[in-house]
Amino acid sequence: MRFLHTADWHIGKKLHGYDLLEDQSYIIDQIIDLAEEQSVDAIIIAGDLYDRTVPAVDAVKCLNEKIAKINLEKKFPLLAISGNHDSPTRLETGSPWFKNTQFYLTTSIEESIEPIEFSDTQFFLLPYFEPIEARLFFDEKITTIAEGVTRVLQEMKQYFDSTKKQVLVTHFFVAGSSQTDSETKIQVGGLDSVPTTAFEGFDYVALGHLHANTALNHERIRYSGSPLKFSLSEITNEKGVYIVDTQKDQQHFYPLRPKRDLQQYTASFETLLDPAFYRQVDREAFLHFTLTDRAVIPNMMNQLRRVYPRILSVERQNGRTVSKKNLTLADEEDPQRVIAHFYKEMTGEPLNEQQQKWLTGLTAGGEKEREKSCSQEN
């Protein structure tokens, strides 16, 4: 059995306000092409098909088209689960009919326990769930994700056929993994991470949730990573999919080539606008610039955008925000930045003008309060 393992498509996600739908459509087509070239027996999507529980209508159209292409047009068996970004109920629409053509989409603990068998392999499809769901399902005092997952896997093991391989498809934070900035944190203080020891007995664990394929260093337990870079912290990440051969016990990572890459440059404003420089650069890419200038540059963004249409952010090398850390962590001294950063991290979009105004109004009020209390103290 040879299958392709991908995850975290996040269809409908925006990158600093830029629509990624075209990039997502392009990269999924590339995944399908690879599956054909490599003649895999099935495709696995380990959760977070959508970026939001209520995806925009264009995102729905895109996923509908891609799953129909994979399963109905190209005739690949398809195994998928819901992730923490998907609405189980919305995503499962149509799923009772999908089984007819070997498309198995699992969105609840209940459906996950019995395996789906293909030739030499038993697939167990365990979607993301909250501890309360496991508690209700088993009617036992389950309080953490680790306890919930362990309990579900215990049930699954009753169905293990020793003449076959066992593959688990799931979507959680596994202890010891490293994170990027584009993942929604689902564990607090390490309580809701799943230890790798929970997965003993499985020949391969196809994970979703973390966006770097290198997030966990384990031979049989792997994140495929997202097919696209979703944050500046993933800029050096190689994006791709795994193709797993259960017979030969091999896993190979196949890199993908995005329609538009995410890149960063450090240069002076003058250099950036110099044809000798920008001719060497992929101007269509999503770009982050670090300016070496110290002087104020009037109308800077507008000038840069005429050359580079997809600028994610521009920072000053010599300003307060020069360090790598500050590319992603807000300066905690400035409440406006902290809030704006938090908003962007949660929604993927910057504050709009109206929100910025409210925020300025609010924090200006706070400043006054602070000044008042300071003067009283003095």
Q: Which residues sit at the interface with its own copies, rule CB under 8 A?
A: 53-54, 57, 60-61, 64, 68, 72, 87, 89-90, 92-98, 100-101, 103
Q: What's the 3-state SS for 307-370?
A: HCCCEEEEEECCCCCCCCHHHCCCCCCCHHHHHHHHHHHHHCCCCCHHHHHHHHHHHHHHHHHH
Nearer to its own copies (CB atom), residue 103 or residue 202: 103
SS3 121: strand
**Beta carbons of 243 and 259 less than 8 angstroms apart:** no
Q: Which one, of 42, 40, 38, 114, lies nearest residue 71 by Cα?
A: 42
Rounded Cα–Cα distance for residues 263 and 359 (Å): 31
Tell me how far, at minimum, the Cβ of 78 lies from its own copies, in Å.
11
CB of 98 to its own copies, least distance (A): 5
Nearest-approach distance from CB 63 to its own copies, in angstroms: 8
| Separation CA 294–CA 137 (nearest Å) | 60
Q: To the nearest whole angstrom, how small is the minimum distance from the Cβ of residue 111 to its own copies?
A: 14
User: Quick one: 91 or 304, whose CB is closer to its own copies?
Assistant: 91
CA distance 19 to 28: 16
- Least CB distance from residue 43 to its own copies, whole Å? 16
Nearest approach in angstroms of CB 92 to its own copies is: 7
Burial class (CB in 10 A: 0-12, 13-18, 19+), 74: middle
The two beta strands, 78-81 and 103-106, are parallel
> Between 78 and 194, whose beta carbon lies closer to its own copies?
78
Given a contact cutoff of 8 angstroms between Cβ atoms, the answer to whether 71 and 35 are in contact is no
User: Residue 197 burial (CB < 10 Å; 0-12/13-18/19+)?
Assistant: exposed
Q: Which residues contact 187 (CB under 8 A, 6 or more apart)?
A: 145, 173, 193
Element (H, E) at 145: helix 145-157
Q: Which is nearer to its own copies, 100 or 162 (CB)?
A: 100
| Least distance to its own copies, CB of residue 167, Å | 24
- φ, ψ of residue 150 in degrees (nearest 5): -60, -40
Considering beta carbons, is residue 99 or 294 the nearer one to its own copies?
99
In the complex with its own copies, which residue's Cβ is closer, 61 or 164?
A: 61
Closer residue to its own copies, CB minimum distance, 61 or 218: 61
Residue among 61 and 220 whose Cβ is closer to its own copies: 61
How wide is the angle at C-alpha 94 spanned by C-alphas 88 and 96, nearest 5°? Answer: 95
Least separation in angstroms between CB 170 and its own copies: 23
